[in-house]
Amino acid sequence: MVSFDFTDKVVLITGATGALGRVVARQFHQAGATLALGARDETLLHQLFADLALDPQHLLVGGIDLCQPEDCDRLAHAVEDRFGRLDALVNTVGGFTAGPPVHATPVEDWERMLAINLRTAFLVSRAIAPVLIRSGGGAIVHVSGRAGLAGFGGGAGYCAAKAGVIRLTESLSAELKEHGINVNCVLPGTIDTPANRAARPEADFSRWVAPEALGAVILFLCSPAASAIHGAAIPVYGLGG
């Protein structure tokens, strides 16, 4: 596997307690990055990363709800106050809940899918972009999804939100590339997580994308090797493509 060196680089990972976020955080740590980890569940964050919590080189910020602009601002301020700069934002926050057809979908279910997948991406980008600009450049990687390319029954809100993340990524890229900031997103298919295995026990898990494989693509997009890539939506489907 290709190795990356993020020594002396500060990387912020949101959703660090999630199935993908915790893997990506460890991959960046192994690559030498200084980590700022944000998550909603402060207790779980400190349990999962107890070793980093004791290391003053890193920063753990719990109690962060990316649906709230004040929480996103608090996270941005905490990172800049501690490190004075930021080199990359990796936003892994999101979620999926299957639902009924559009005509039977409660408004609050639709709004929840847009909130946890699209509003979060907008608000954290809004808060963090100025830090990256003041830092002289960097990278933003959002996690969209294959569902952002084509809708499916029972998933209208999720599909619309993930499509919105792609458009948001493109707009951010157009605005920030002149500041030396690369903005891209990844489009995973089904990620091989315990929750997905429990939800679909009959599936062939070997065809799903491993979190580590998706993480490797994210590390690439944050590395100098991806300096010419702007506004891309990278498919990462595993064998399910």
Residues with active-site annotation? 158
Burial 93-128 (b: 16+ CB within 10 A, else e): bbebeebeeeeeeeeeebebbebbbbbbbbbbbebb
CB-count exposure of residue 240 (10 Å: 0-12, 13-18, 19+): middle
**Cα distance between residue 199 and residue 140, in whole Å:** 31
Helix (H) or strand (E) holding 182: strand 181-188
C-alpha distances (whole Å) from 180 to each of 28, 86, 141 are 21, 13, 14
Helix (H) or strand (E) holding 177: none
Please give the full DSSP string across 49-93, using - where no structure is assigned.
THHHHT-TTSEEE-S--TTSHHHHHHHHHHHHHHHS--SEEEE--
Token couple for 176: 């920030």
C-alpha distances (whole Å) from 90 to each of 56, 127, 240 are 21, 13, 24
**Cα distance between residue 233 and residue 236, in whole Å:** 10
Q: Are 42 and 62 in contact (CB under 8 A)?
A: yes
